[in-house]
């Protein structure tokens, strides 16, 4: 054990601020991290705090939609903005879409990893029978 957490090999996409599954603080650190990747108003819903797997599902959908929006933006920006921006600015917009798409793809992989761990943890505890 290191730092009070079980020794565990985590996947490369595992977020550094989320403690490993099986540790006492896993769900709490997962909640904090997931809430950082969804709209702030999601914090208003107590069910998402009480059932982290529900938050991870919503986060997965939200981040997936953001990734798709970045991809759609990239596909359509050149045509949509060509009459409104100089070429160098349009190139910068395209680079922004590329960077955001890469970032969101990484976040999605991390959300999926946390979601899978939360689902496994909920299944071990009996999930819907709580």
Digit-coded pLDDT (tens) for 49-100:
999 999 999 999 999 999 999 999 999 999 999 999 999 999 999 999 999 9
DSSP assignments along 65-104, one per residue: HHHHHHHHHHHHHHHHHTTTS-HHHHHHHHHHHHHHHHHH
C-alpha separations of 89 from 74, 77, 92, 123 in Å: 14, 11, 5, 50
CA distance 121 to 22: 8
| Structural domain includes residue 49 | yes
pLDDT score recorded for residue 128: 60
| Structural domain includes residue 34 | yes
pLDDT score recorded for residue 9: 59
| Structural domain includes residue 56 | yes
Q: Any idea what the Cα angle at residue 29 is, between residues 23 and 31, rounded to 5°?
A: 125
pTM reported for the whole predicted model: 0.85
What SS3 class is residue 2?
Answer: strand
| Structural domain includes residue 86 | yes
| Structural domain includes residue 130 | no
| Structural domain includes residue 98 | yes
Per the structure, the count of domains in the chain is 1
Q: What are phi and psi of 2, to 5 degrees?
A: -130, 125
Domain that includes residue 33, residue range? 26-123
């Amino acid at each position: 054990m290191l730092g009070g957490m079980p020794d565990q090999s985590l996947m490369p996409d595992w977020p550094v601020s989320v403690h490993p599954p099986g540790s006492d603080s896993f769900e709490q650190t997962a909640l904090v991290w997931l809430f950082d990747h969804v709209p702030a108003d999601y914090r208003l819903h107590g069910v998402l705090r009480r059932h982290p797997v529900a938050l991870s599902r919503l986060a997965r959908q939200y981040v997936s939609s953001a990734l798709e929006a970045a991809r759609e933006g990239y596909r359509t920006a050149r045509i949509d903005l060509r009459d409104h921006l100089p070429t160098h600015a349009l190139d910068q917009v395209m680079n922004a879409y590329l960077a955001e798409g890469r970032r969101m793809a990484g976040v999605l992989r991390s959300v999926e990893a946390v979601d899978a761990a939360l689902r496994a943890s909920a299944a071990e505890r009996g999930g819907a029978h709580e």
